[in-house]
Amino acid sequence: MSEHAPHTPPNSARWKRTASVVQAEMAPEQAALLHLGTGQYHVLNEVGTHIWTLLQLPRAPDELCTALCSEYDVDPQRCADEVATYLNVLHAAQLIEPVR
């Protein structure tokens, strides 16, 4: 692991959006994010946009999965695995951070 890679907190952490991200709606189920500090753009698909919307308030991975499983036909374990992976991606891109 690179010394510059962010440390990934445990899956029980509550996550929030970082303040340095702005959002633009591209389509009803798609969003683009711009991290003002890094200048990087990120395009989110339908599920990613749904997760981003849920992260308007700090949430734990299990809270995200509860909401996603009620909306989509997905196995809870698969949801938990994919949400954990996706949160790690968002965190590595500095789009979200753990609530302290």
Q: Where are the domains of the chain?
A: 15-95
The beta strand positions in the chain, using DSSP E, are 15-17, 21-27, 30-35, 41-44, 96-98
- Give pTM, 2 decimals: 0.84
| CATH architecture for the domain at 15-95 | Orthogonal Bundle (1.10)
- Encoded tokens for 78: 């698969």
pLDDT class of 27 with cuts at 50, 70, 90? confident
Q: Helix 46-54 to helix 61-71 angle, to the nearest 10 degrees? A: 130
At 67-83, the pLDDT tens digits run: 999 999 999 999 999 99
According to DSSP H, which parts of 37-75 are helical?
A: 46-54, 61-71
